[in-house]
Structure 1
């Protein structure tokens, strides 16, 4: 579920929801044309479940406005001041870098697929692209806002057609060439197409080049559409292959760049690392889920995950995975970090602080609060890149990982429990209560751990 939960009072029941109470989706609107902007605003606010929380007319206004309001969805034009080129798309990407859960709907008067390719180059989840002259038709705009707020995609049919329609040159394309071109337009990499066809990537690479040559024939015949299509498709392939776009979406932060820069990293090979592992879990989550509205709970969980992600990344950690209400992160891998223990403790404090702020806003609107328990463990582990070239998973295994999971079970809401090894590597000691030695599952000898109460970012009680 995408988007952010905000301190918004509950709205009256929205028509068509069987009387259920829903909170409004906060929308930030950007367009340099005042008349268009006000018209779109009125169109949005005709819906009881949508609310415009701010407007802007240029790139700087969009970025600063979204930073201040943290909307669930940004609706923006493509071309705005200062250069009237693609400020809307650039601003949208900047907003998404600050708030990964924010949905984006681009409104454009251009059906050129170049803008859509630019927008969707890093994945389509949470993005929409609509043509301005069609947004007033039915509920298209409102439906798109709702879709991207929940991580969906909303593309105008004309844009979809432009993206996947093969370009016919004077000589025409064979059915096999049309299929190949369609796969490329869908964003499939050369390696992925080769896997589908069960042939070496070099064969697909040659076929793609041949199709491009054929399209170039159309260009020489004066076909401007063929030229534009050729340029866009070629750039999409180059971007995905050279920038590792697919790896960046599948792997934890930092690992994709490591793979691109280190040719000796191989699938299936393990790397010995010395790290601090963080495990967090929401206390009494099953009870909360039993009584909560599923849609509201999903929104809460997304808000929680986004905040935890910010706290971990802010300390140089790597988010390994989200599993239900649990978060697993590592400090010291995939890149070495000398003071990984200090950063892990600081991240845990930041996670508690952010969740406390979120809980205050939830409390004001009657939503259940999340009580966070965190476990930290330091020691050796084995890191491995497992899977295939089409689907990869970065995995961390070893007793250090298992111990972090066990220790978080000892932490009550607002507390962090760390292993003695984690406490020993800290450069600055924090006040902590030593717990009685006790056996944990998977260990033959008792474990000594230390409990830290609610902490500030500075590391004080």
Structure 2
């Protein structure tokens, strides 16, 4: 059985020949040669009767038999050495009948004299055989050849096959199958790596740090020591150049600049995932310094992300032919290294982005480049993640401050943590205490003040009152002119919300007293405030347009609280019976005359809060009376 014995990085590999065998780089060939200077469809070895013929398909770099370039086609003899690009092989068919001499002048030869000479096989004598003179030397290409047979009394003299030269790795021939002359048997349709120098297609390694072995384990391994030193050196240089950069855009540009120092790439792109998970280009660089757009292959990008592994390809169009990667051909992507930027554990080991490097040169990158790029990608991912997280923290700080200007701290924190979603709509709150306060005599006061002075006075007043509300973990609902509306129980509820609201109102009285003393010292009149508080069910949520939402409450409880505020005298804290029932006797109160308020058919039972009751007297429920001020709300 005729075989083709190829020298590869793994040793000699023997391929059993079929009647028709196509050789080339394209995966559709029956024998795919992973050789960077072999054509896609390089040559065909086909059987003609009892012998084989090699036909070159117009390959760019040619096909050689025993160092002679094949023009058209040439017969193969046992022991012939075949060279395609950097691939070396030997035709092995010890049982074949010798092929007669060729017709003079056909097929045409590059050297006419060489056609008349017996070929030399790397120092071995040419095969000797006697041929029957009556037979024609052979047909031209494309015509069936009659079978050749030596006369019974004459057998061809077959020399031993010349040995193949070992590849750079010095790999010895592997044991073959019985009857073979050495080498491992390989079935048809298998891709062949020609030698250590040849390219590897689709080589993949996991994008993780390989780590370093203890010195005593590799002290005698100079290659490993050299590789570890190189990794440490590159890691140090990369860290030194990018560690201090806090701007993500500049960081990505510096990463590409550093990579170009170590890897001979023509183009580089860094992709990062956006909020929707899509890869978007964030930085690009060309070795020639131009700013022309860079096209990349979505086929390879998707492969890297799905497999979560770095990829090295020497012929992208061939490697991903099954995916119909037309972009790789149109954009002249010959060699590419694509390494996923995998974030550390803090990022749930998700793919953060992709580092893309490519070249128009076939087989530009080697496996060692892939290892370097993978290590660089892993390290770069950590710096990128640090920058992204740092930027996220900065944005959260700014957002938190902005939200705190618009929302109460407890709402702002719940929004930032995702516990509260800012969207239109409301929900029923079974029990919420609503607080309303208003400055008495404000309209008359505003008539005598300049607008600037009035706004300045309100800002100082609101600053103190809002701080007090937040001190008792209330939610600021809104400002209404000189009025304040606050909530206890929405969106954050406590078991003692009614108590907190009343304590806040009493504290506001103390703070207002301090503020009034400051005003008196500069010749300003003191302010007087009335408060109304009511407790009950309501609807709370974000109300407004999609572009301007405000957290507030609606319902009878909110309206009743505002009505109680309107009947409160200056210095009074008027609470409803529902709120009073929640206080548990913790405050000294006086019951006022039933109040008639708008929207209510019957008068409401209301109370005025005087002061906090000492802890020892909390169980007692006897009200204490005090004379309220005579100021009435406007």
What TM-score results when the alignment is normalised by the length of structure 1? Answer: 0.48
Task: Identify the structure with bigger relative contact order (alpha carbons < 8 Å, sequence gap 6+).
Answer: 1
Which structure: greater strand fraction?
2
Which structure: greater helix fraction?
1
What TM-score results when the alignment is normalised by the length of structure 2? Answer: 0.36
* Greater C-alpha radius of gyration: 2
